[in-house]
Structure 1
Amino acid sequence: MELPPPSANTQEHIELMTLDANHTKDLIETFKEVTKDEEEGEIRTGVDRWVFGAAAAVAIAFLVWGLVDSDGLGNVASSALSGVITNFGWLFVIAATVFVVFVLVVAFTRFGRIPLGKDDDVPQYSTWSWISMMFAAGMGIGLMFYGVAEPLFFYVSPPPGTVTAETTAAVSTAMGTTMFHWTLYPWAMYAIVGLGMAYGTYRLGRTQRFSSMFAGLFGQRAVNSAGGRIINVLAIVATLFGSACSLGLGALQIGGGLEQSGAIPQANSAVLTAIIAILTAAFIASAVSGIERGIQWLSNINMLLAIALAVLVFFAGPTLFILNIIPNAVGSFISDLPAMASRTAGSGDVSIDEWMANWTIFYWAWWVSWCPFVGSFIGRISRGRTVRQFVTGVLLVPSVVSVLWFAIFGGGAIGLLRRAEDAASAASLMVTTGPDGTKSVNSDTVLFQFLDALPIPAWMTAVLVGLCVVLVAIFFVTGADSASIVMASFSENGAENPSRWNVVFWGAATGAVAAIMLLAGGDHPEAALNGLKNITIVTALPFVIVMLLLCVSLWRDLSRDPLVIRNSLAREVLEQSVASGIEKHDGEAFELRTAEAVTHEEAGQ
């Protein structure tokens, strides 16, 4: 049945529809030009000698400096950190909230249905493997290191100006503050980089260089320019030092576990260096085997072991207290969020300034320094998922796991401490009191002290301690090999499967940075590690600006996606066609039909 042509007496309607068609045609042509630039841009392969050489030179220079003059390195890092906190602490605080709002808006508006790949792509990995790899790369060692330490510390020493220590209110504040540092905020930062990497690579066909994510803002030529190379070098350097810090934390905790169990008399620098050397060899072997084999396999095993550890501690510890503290933690996080998100350094109160530098601003800078590697790695394993699925998975799943983890370990430790009958009890030994009366915890050993305080047989405590050491070791391996692959990719023009020698080089460099800094610390390896942390925070400052620009670039790219254009056109055409039909037929029943658009010239004939 042939449809009748458009009526000649609907000139105004024809012009309106033609205007919509012309407007949409302009949008489509714009998108075609963007993708054409991507296709016709210079695609480079192999090692980028400038990027690799500059990043390697920075790594070697820091290694030599740390070995020759660790005190000088620490002093410079401390001075630089003080300047960053004083002058730019506000930037970290504001940017962190901007990142959370941005990813939520992107996920739950018109951009949410856009696939991270072609329209018919399916997820590359199962949901279980995807979550396991994402979680192991993003927070594995951190949760083991701070799982008991942070909530317990905030309980005995709450943030300045909040509540009285070791009270019921202190329990809520401790858990709420911990959730603030470990749930939505860090994963929103990772999600921005992950979205930029996955969308640009699998949807637009860009290379997996960090600078490629800015093509939508500065153009494809900028990716290969000197500015693009500087961005890639900064991404590698931030990844290197961020990973080395996490490896140092892991080595300290493994050493603390071996010392606590009596396996070694003291976890000195030589022991810690040996631990790093052994695990470095392990994660290099895992990295060269690729994501599909080494990292995926280890991540799945680690997730199962982590679940087993959490379940055992849940039932062995103060179970009822832990169950009660879970909704308490969520409620405290929600109610205290405005105050926590608006708290800044530089207020004139020395105690608040110092606390912010040691905790919130430190964490925001720490997460930013991890974004190049964690975000890029998450993007690499997220092909085929939609933007909404990606953001929901990246934000909610790790956040829920973090709430449960900190409730079981940190909440369990608080519960045992509240039940302690005297200062000599095993639970009380988790907290030390200084000469001035201030209380603190030893992050290296408090996890194992907590396990000792559980009301379980000695043999079961030994099993749990051994399981924790294995977990830290595997988290060490999965995090470091993910970082090695990403650094190799950045230095090899975004290669999806970089050369093995390149992966081995950056893996060895990561282990060497962690080992040399610990070795340079002599009898006080924690001091050297703190110096490395300070350097990492300082290097994170330019990345705050970079990530804010990335938000703008990503928004521009998503706004020109064909799916967004089609949906926008469908809404406009349908709304205006219905309005025109109602007016033309005076409210009577009518139907909509499609016909080829009539141009202004044809309508005038």
Structure 2
Amino acid sequence: MSTPPHSTDREPSTTPPDDRAAQGSTARSRSRQIIDELTYPHGIHPALVPGVGVEDRKVRFGTDKAVFIVTALLIVGFILWGILGTDSLTSVSSTALAWVTANTGWFFILLSTAAVLFMLFIGFTRTGRINLGRDDEEPEYSFFSWLAMLFAAGMGIGLMFYGAFEPMSYFEGGIPGFSHVSEPGQDSMVVYSLVQSAFHWALNPWAIYAVVGVSVAYGAYRRGRAPLISRVFTSLLGHKRVDGPLGKLIDVFAIFATLFGTAASLGVGAMQIGSGITIVGGIGPLGNNALIGIIAVLSVCFVISAVSGVSRGIRYLSNINLTLAFVLAVFVFFVGPTVFLLTLIPSTFSTYISEYLFMTGQSAAWGPDSAEFSNTWTVYYWAWWLSWSPFVGMFIAKISRGRSIRQFVTVVLVVPASVCILWFIVFGGAAMYFSKNGADLSVADGAESMLFALFDQLPLTGVTSVLGMIVIGIFFVTSADSASVVMGTMTQRGRPNPSKWIVIFWGACLAGIAIVMLLVGGDDALAGMQNLVIVSALPFAVIVAVMMVALYRDLRNDPATLRTRFAASAVEKAVSAGLAEHGDNFALQVEHAEGHRAAGNTFDSHDPAITEWYRQTDENGDETDFTYNSAWVSSAADDIADGTPEGEAPWEKTTPKHRNDQ
């Protein structure tokens, strides 16, 4: 079947017109087409728009004073409250935590599950073919570079802190949901401990990140919106509300979530470094004052990196750190119980898949033990991932430009999740193996010391312990640097490279909140972090829930979706007419049609909901062209007739590709 060049109001038909009627029909069709093109923005039918990149827009970057001032005042006030009234903040956070977990724990669980289902739905239905960029746009990074950066996003302080501790906690204390099949300390509890850890670190968190990432990437590279969380809601709220107080409030909550989620990671990193210093140096336990000092020193390192302009050096440092983390994992794998760890790989992955729905349903409904477990572990993790989602989501949005949604969903959900599971198998599996064989590894000694207790069971303890502290320290600096840049971007209307002063300010706020979390927790610093992360994540959890609705609405009206809708309608009507009029012997051709025979007879292609988004205006409100313009529509037939290579779109002649150095 052959389809002639672009037409805005034609349908396949099986009835060839006679010559005279054809001439009149063609004239009327062309007149109608000209009228339609004049009334569409830029003369382009909404189903033919190839997409609009944010660089094609006249986006004005600059500090959003309302967002910055409101957020800054609240954060500085919170830090002062934590320092000057620690007991008061501790009491308030504990009360707030009790209310949130008792009344909204179910919401966190449902939301994380909904994120998984939503990503699978948009990835493996018709919307999966939509490109996160213009129709003709190539991926910005090669596939292997993209995988490497996703791998980097999956690594961090959290895996260093919980890699051995979390499975050991389940191994020693049991898991309420699995108590009917395995008791604490039994061999089978090794697998269930790893499976429960995988549940908290694999598919669900990456689905949450993916929701934010695909929403920001689609809006910025397909719809030409500024890369801000608030701009994702344009289809629901409209431009005025997104630019107004409600949109600014969304960005404020996104910054809040990023601050508290990242600060929790910095806090646990400081705790773990402090434990390493205690063990390697042979000194007594460090108090909160020493941990605050560690945070201060590492924060100074971050500030130096931020003001020095050596962003490339930080990138190299991150790559080196990932290599060092990989070396640690390989060392534990080969020097530790290698065969035992190998047997855990298929068992953990298969059991994770088979028990996934059971773990999803584990909540307070199963009784007080399950309620306590869910609130202490699962709800805390879902809140932490929601807090990290603006940061990680915007990162994976940046590196995923030019990928289809299907490829995005498949790779983002599978690759980093698998890396996290393998990490827990190596560190958690090794820790449980040594514990089963009489080693002195106990969760009672604290989460921060578990990694170093594991290293103590292996050769080169001093070297691996120092190396572990170096890795954690570099993760601290690079995480603070990256998160501060993201918050600067959100504060300066989506500016890709925010001002240094604002990056430094948010970095200082990160350090301040991490210190407050330690103070609020007192002797149990980790509990203080959990309290504040869960409470602060609730507003952004609501935002992520509505974000899925906004993105789906955008995807339903995407040009590629509209073309699919037209194609299905045209073919169905043409085939029915052909069979009725000619039986087996008919062919399809495109001609002008009115009424019920038209492919789009029930579709309003002039609806502002599907046309206004690609309207470009100048400072006076007058319509102005994009980098590519409406000429590519009218010249499409000429380009095809002149032999435009298959797969090359006509607008490639006027639209520059997105380059790596942009």
| Residue aligning to 2:565 | 568
TM alignment of 1:558-597, pairs within 5 A: 558-588=555-585, 590-594=586-590, 596-597=591-592
Between 268-277 and 444-453, report the one with greater CA deviation.
268-277
TM alignment of 1:417-496, pairs within 5 A: 417-420=435-438, 427=439, 429-431=440-442, 440=444, 442-454=446-458, 456=459, 460-496=460-496
Shift of residue 583 of structure 1?
A: 3.7
| Residue aligning to 1:48 | 64
Pair 402,441 (structure 1): closer, same or farther in 2 beyond 3 Å: farther
Contact 2:154/2:420, CA 8 A, preserved across alignment: no
Instruction: Deviation per CA, 1:245-304: give whole Å up to 9, x if none.
Output: 110001111111121112654433333223222322333444567797255323322222
Shift of residue 334 of structure 1?
A: 1.7
Alpha-carbon RMSD = 3.3
Pair 285,203 (structure 1): closer, same or farther in 2 beyond 3 Å: farther
| Residue aligning to 1:368 | 386
Contact 2:212/2:393, CA 8 A, preserved across alignment: yes
Q: 2:323 aligns with which of 304, 310, 324?
A: 304
Residue 77 (1) aligns with residue 96 (2): no
Q: Match of 2:355, SS? A: helix
| Residue aligning to 2:351 | 332
Shift of residue 30 of structure 1?
A: 6.1
User: 1:542, 1:71 → 2: CA distance?
Assistant: 24
Residue 389 (1) aligns with residue 407 (2): yes
Pair 293,40 (structure 1): closer, same or farther in 2 beyond 3 Å: closer
Between 392-401 and 272-281, report the one with greater CA deviation.
272-281
User: 1:97, 1:55 → 2: CA distance?
Assistant: 30
Q: Aligned partner of 2:408: which letter? A: F
Q: What is the TM-score normalised by the length of structure 1?
A: 0.86
Q: 2:16 aligns with which of 7, 23, 42?
A: 7
Contact 1:41/1:221, CA 8 A, preserved across alignment: no
Q: 2:533 aligns with which of 528, 536, 542?
A: 536
Contact 2:229/2:251, CA 8 A, preserved across alignment: yes
User: 1:91, 1:217 → 2: CA distance?
Assistant: 22
User: 1:340, 1:112 → 2: CA distance?
Assistant: 28
Pair 125,290 (structure 1): closer, same or farther in 2 beyond 3 Å: farther
Contact 1:248/1:514, CA 8 A, preserved across alignment: yes
Pair 205,601 (structure 1): closer, same or farther in 2 beyond 3 Å: closer
Pair 601,264 (structure 1): closer, same or farther in 2 beyond 3 Å: closer
What is the number of residues matched between the two proteins?
568
Shift of residue 495 of structure 1?
A: 1.1
Contact 1:129/1:296, CA 8 A, preserved across alignment: no
| Residue aligning to 2:114 | 98
Residue 153 (1) aligns with residue 169 (2): yes
Shift of residue 31 of structure 1?
A: 7.0
Instruction: Deviation per CA, 1:198-230: give whole Å up to 9, x if none.
Output: 111111111122111100111111111111111
Shift of residue 498 of structure 1?
A: 1.1
User: 1:191, 1:83 → 2: CA distance?
Assistant: 29
Q: Aligned partner of 2:381: which letter? A: Y
User: 1:54, 1:198 → 2: CA distance?
Assistant: 27
TM alignment of 1:157-168, pairs within 5 A: 157-161=173-177, 162=179, 163-168=182-187
Between 255-264 and 325-334, report the one with greater CA deviation.
255-264
Contact 1:137/1:482, CA 8 A, preserved across alignment: no
Shift of residue 134 of structure 1?
A: 3.9
Q: What is the TM-score normalised by the length of structure 2?
A: 0.79
Instruction: Deviation per CA, 1:515-568: give whole Å up to 9, x if none.
Output: 3543x46xx755355324312211211222211110010001111111222233
Contact 2:56/2:224, CA 8 A, preserved across alignment: no
Q: Aligned partner of 1:540: which letter? A: A
User: 1:140, 1:602 → 2: CA distance?
Assistant: 58
User: 2:145, 2:359 → 1: CA distance?
Assistant: 34
| Residue aligning to 2:499 | 499
User: 2:597, 2:86 → 1: CA distance?
Assistant: 79
Identity of aligned residues (%): 43
Pair 248,582 (structure 1): closer, same or farther in 2 beyond 3 Å: same
Q: Match of 1:219, SS? A: helix
User: 2:596, 2:108 → 1: CA distance?
Assistant: 56
Contact 1:45/1:495, CA 8 A, preserved across alignment: yes
Shift of residue 445 of structure 1?
A: 0.5
TM alignment of 1:255-270, pairs within 5 A: 255-262=274-281, 265-270=284-289
TM alignment of 1:543-562, pairs within 5 A: 543-562=540-559
User: 1:236, 1:178 → 2: CA distance?
Assistant: 28
User: What runs of 5+ residues in structure 2 fail to find an aligned partner?
Assistant: 5-12, 599-662
Q: Match of 2:524, SS? A: helix
Shift of residue 500 of structure 1?
A: 1.3
Contact 1:236/1:490, CA 8 A, preserved across alignment: yes
Pair 526,108 (structure 1): closer, same or farther in 2 beyond 3 Å: farther
Instruction: Deviation per CA, 1:28-58: give whole Å up to 9, x if none.
Output: 866799999x999995431111100111111
| Residue aligning to 1:198 | 217
Shift of residue 113 of structure 1?
A: 1.9
Contact 2:47/2:559, CA 8 A, preserved across alignment: yes
Q: Aligned partner of 2:536: which letter? A: T
Q: Aligned partner of 1:144: which letter? A: M
Shift of residue 449 of structure 1?
A: 0.3
User: 1:117, 1:545 → 2: CA distance?
Assistant: 27
User: 2:332, 2:525 → 1: CA distance?
Assistant: 33
User: What runs of 5+ residues in structure 1 fail to find an aligned partner?
Assistant: 421-426, 433-439
Residue 399 (1) aligns with residue 417 (2): yes
Pair 175,158 (structure 1): closer, same or farther in 2 beyond 3 Å: same
Residue 237 (1) aligns with residue 256 (2): yes
User: 2:197, 2:56 → 1: CA distance?
Assistant: 48
